[in-house]
Structure 1
Amino acid sequence: MKLVSVETPEKSVCKMTFSASAEELETASNAVYERTRASYTIKGFKKGEADRAQIEADRGEHTFWYDAINDLMDKDVPALYDAALAEHGFVPVDAPVYDLVSVKKDEGFVATATVALQPELNLTKTTGFTTECVTPEVTDKEIDSVLERRRNAAAELVPHKGPAVKGNIVHIDYEGLLEGKPFQGGTAQNQTLQLGSGRMIPGFEEGILGHKAGEEFDIFVTFPARYHAKDLAGKPVIFKIKLIDVCVRQIPALNSDFAKKVANVDTLDELRAQVKQQLHDGKHASALNRAKDQILTQLADAAEGDLPSTLVESTYQLQMQQIQQQLQMQRLSLDRYLSQIHETRESFTAKVRTSAEKTARVRMALLQIAQQENLVPTEEEIDKQLAERAERTKKTLEEVKAQANVHAMRRNEGIRKAADWVIEHSTIEDK
């Protein structure tokens, strides 16, 4: 492969164009074919028996191109890219974005790498920012809520002598029989079940009610018609039950004995004071982080100049990805979330883009400060971090270095140190 051109289509943006010949593409494609041929199943051939021409006739002539392009890019482009940056004195501040421009069998392919370069910002102010750290008061209701959670966590199971009732926790052995034969997933030993939880199929938990510990009995139930296991859906079955024990969940009283057990203090008042302090510390830490963010927001406002559009776009895409991941953890789609907060997709994404621009501006201002104040870590400091990582991960230093993006590490560590420096040289008033 070769570097065709280096351009700056806009301020603080570099675009490199690379190309590979038809011969290079063909050689790399054939290597991909040899590496992957065993995985192809083509009609009329046993798996792995079809040759390249037969596979391409069935799947298309481009079948092996894209893996071949990736192989060539991975092998040749990093060195060409680094050499071009060094030759032009460019300082990238983000990972490059690669695009495939064209690919033809008789011409090879052309690809580009677009990367954001460090902008020169006019920092009208770097120290002396001021803000307030407002820590909300801890309420009795919040303390009561924590104590209630601790009581529930400290609950114990004690035997219940009478017949099982709804709310009891039982331990059971059971075996399910369909037409007199055990079925898959229908047997369990020492299973814990809270009666009335609705965890089991309809009729199962109800069939245990009224029985006592030690009893053995049968439950006759029918699986729901829409049950996920097709072979059981709508089928009547028998469960043979052995009721090992019946228990009630006993929550401890909120008294001095509870205080000694959970917190090693003598009185309930001391426990409440301890919980109050813990809640205060958590609220204060959050308030302090918000105040630090406000300081950095003021720095962004004091940083004048244009940012590379590609940097803002990649920051926006990263923030959107993080939002999507958080919503997925809550089993929410973005559209459903937006309907809950009564906001349109257009207004929401506009806010995220504004936030991304602010984030990128802060990072570039901090990087500039890191360079001005000699806060960018040295090679020796980076090597020390990599050695510590190698020790933690039980890998060799060479393996860790091969996987690490040293330029990004140095940049991110410099930005972190600069953020601490700006905050140390500003004022946060506690309230």
Structure 2
Amino acid sequence: IDGAASEKMPIVLGSERLIPGFEAQLVDAKIGDAATVSVTFPDDYQEESLRGVPARFDVVIQELRARIPPPLDDAFAKQVANVENVEGLRAEILTRLKASAADRGRHEFADKIVEYAMENATVEIPDPLIEEEIDGLVDELARSIARQGLSFEQYLEAAGKSAEEIRAELRDRGERRARTLLVLSAVAGAEGIQVPEELIDEEVRRAQPQVQGQRKLEAYLASERGRRAIRASLRRSLVVEKIVEDWFDGNPGAWPAWGPERPPRPAATAALSPAASPAGGSADAPKAKRSPAKRSAK
């Protein structure tokens, strides 16, 4: 991405920590070499606004190092962790791996819940809602670019695209997000889930350092439109979190026996447990009709 810069950024060839294809273009490079790396952010990239976006990086090799692993002994174990020996280090690593696997499985389960809700609901998506979600995607892209030291206008110039072309590229994702919003908002209304204003304030404070000096983005965060977008995102997260937590409450044996102890319910969903949830729904919840469950033919 033109204009973004990082000084003395370590790159470990073979680690595959960067965008796919990035490291391979630096193989055989020597100190002082200048290389141009052209890649495309993958469709499953963690920053949703950058998925599928092409980028170019100008790289100058300043230093080359070889990684020489230290001996795996008790002294090394004490240095890298609060343990006494190698056996303790192995046990700690195993605990971390189990926690990571359990967390990954939990997120995959949450994704399946959303997919199931999407497949078993019939919704009519108003075009203004799609446009609003596209606005949100554009805002996310602008914030991501701002973290790289670029303005949105500079990005458009570097990409050789207009704002209208960017919006057209984001339309499918905007429509899907609008559909997800309607379905999960209907669930949120039925469950009485609301987003506390303090959570929105916390998200605004967390985002402010990322957009400092970007007047348009600063104004967006301070606007009702920005708060509305944050509220919608948090509400979606709270809905999924509550569904997951309720399911595990009703199926305690489903928590993996090999995994770490199940953490307590997040404070934002603890008050919305099945016993505490109101029977009625929100009057302004968008309507989503459930379609009959799909059956496989025999």
Query: Whose RCO is larger (CA < 8 A, sep 6+)?
Result: 2
Provide TM-score, normalisation by structure 1. 0.29
Higher alpha-carbon Rg: 1
Structure with the bigger percentage of helix = 2
Structure with the bigger percentage of strand = 1
